[in-house]
Amino acid sequence: MQSVRPQPLFSRCVVYTGVCLLGLLAWDFSGLDLGVMHLLADARGFAWRDSAWLADIFHTGARRLAIVIYLGVVCTLFWPWGIFRDITRRQRIEVVVGIALSLIAVSGLKSLSLTSCPWDLQDFGGTAHYVSHWQWGVRDGGSGACFPGGHASSAMAFLALSLPWLTASQAHQQRWGRGLLLTVLSLGLLLGAVQTLRGAHYPSHTFWTGLICWLVAWANHWAFGAWAKHKPA
């Protein structure tokens, strides 16, 4: 069985994360968020806001599916199945906690945010005016509580699921980790795009949700690793 040292992988993840952060900051300060929303709506609002496909299936339905999947992951603490048999119970606890912490982090930041959703802007039939989420403490005249993207976190929170495999020493487990990582990222971007089309979030809200969930997942992974090293045998 081929073994791969995890340290080079960690170094690559640090580099990729740094590149993504720089790209996201460049996006934020480019003004592209508002430009994208103007392509999708006018003063009458967002045409796809109440689309049955987007609102009922890809929003409500996807959120319910995420809850079911999370409960399935929780069940692996007691009845591991499939690839969950490849990792320890401690690692399964790590995954369950990491997903929960990611959801809490995004939800907590949203509750503190003064940024309103695009569909609340005057440009699109609302009452708020555009204020960058970097202008902390500045109200925009809307309801706020829109940054980062909550719906995207229904998928992005599962980035924590990939780390026990991604950081494993065996090559086949790392392949599983990469597959899980790419799948979760793709689903997160899809759910974020759904909300952008509906006018609920700017693209950057989804990107920040992904980065926040990724950083929380890594912090959680590090904490569980440190706990395992210091736990008495």
Report if residue 42 sits inside a domain: no
Three-state secondary structure call for residue 170: strand
Report if residue 136 sits inside a domain: no
Question: 229: pLDDT confidence band, cut at 50, 70 and 90?
Answer: confident
Report if residue 21 sits inside a domain: no
pLDDT score at 232 = 60
Rounded to an integer, the average pLDDT of 3-20 is: 78
pLDDT score at 138 = 96
| Domain span including residue 208 | 51-113+148-225
Answer whether residue 4 shows pLDDT above 70.
Answer: no
pLDDT score at 50 = 96
Report if residue 61 sits inside a domain: yes
pLDDT score at 1 = 45
Rounded to an integer, the average pLDDT of 93-117 is: 98
Q: For 143-194, what is each residue's pLDDT tens digit?
A: 999 999 999 999 999 999 999 999 998 999 999 999 999 999 999 999 999 9
**Structural domains counted in the chain:** 1
Question: 85: pLDDT confidence band, cut at 50, 70 and 90?
Answer: very high
Answer whether residue 5 shows pLDDT above 60.
Answer: no
Report if residue 172 sits inside a domain: yes
Answer whether residue 47 shows pLDDT above 90.
Answer: yes
Mean confidence (pLDDT) of the chain: 94
Report if residue 20 sits inside a domain: no
Distances (CA, A) of 74 to 6, 54, 81, 111, 214: 26, 28, 12, 26, 20
CA 97 to chain centre: 15
Report if residue 56 sits inside a domain: yes
**Cis peptide leading into residue 148 (ω within 30°):** yes
The neighbour count for residue 20, using CB atoms within 10 Å, is 14
User: What is the pTM assigned to this prediction?
Assistant: 0.93
Answer whether residue 2 shows pLDDT above 90.
Answer: no
Check residue 60 and report its DSSP letter: I
Distances (CA, A) of 113 to 59, 81, 129, 135: 21, 39, 15, 10
Place of tokens 């487990």: 173
Report if residue 210 sits inside a domain: yes
